[in-house]
Amino acid sequence: MCSSPKSSRAVNKTAINFNNELTQEQRLRFAAKANLAQERREQREATNRRYELKHLSNKSSHGLFSWLQQLVS
């Protein structure tokens, strides 16, 4: 199609190779941050699972009668 926009510049599609471009110190810092992020992610997922299991029984009834019972208690 003639009306579609076309780029006049070539795109460089080289992938970043961390092993060659980072120094040993940078690799160690990167790995430490990645490990901490993974640990936080696992802790968050475990907490979310515990929360869902704990509150699973509360989601069973949402009717007017259950609402009134909660209001009175």
Is this structure's pTM higher than 0.75?
Answer: no
Q: In residues, how long is the chain?
A: 73
Q: What is the per-residue DSSP string for 11-47?
A: ---PPP-HHHHS-HHHHHHHHHHHHHHHHHHHHHHHH
What does the pLDDT read at residue 6?
Answer: 67
- In-domain check, residue 5: no
- In-domain check, residue 43: yes
Mean pLDDT of 26-44: 96
- Domain ranges, residue 43: 20-55
Place of tokens 């936080």: 40
Longest dimension (CA), the chain: 71
Mean pLDDT of 28-49: 96
Is the model's pLDDT at 63 over the cut of 60?
yes
Torsions phi, psi for 54 (to 5 deg): -70, -40
> How many structural domains is the chain composed of?
1
Mean pLDDT score of the chain, rounded to an integer? 80
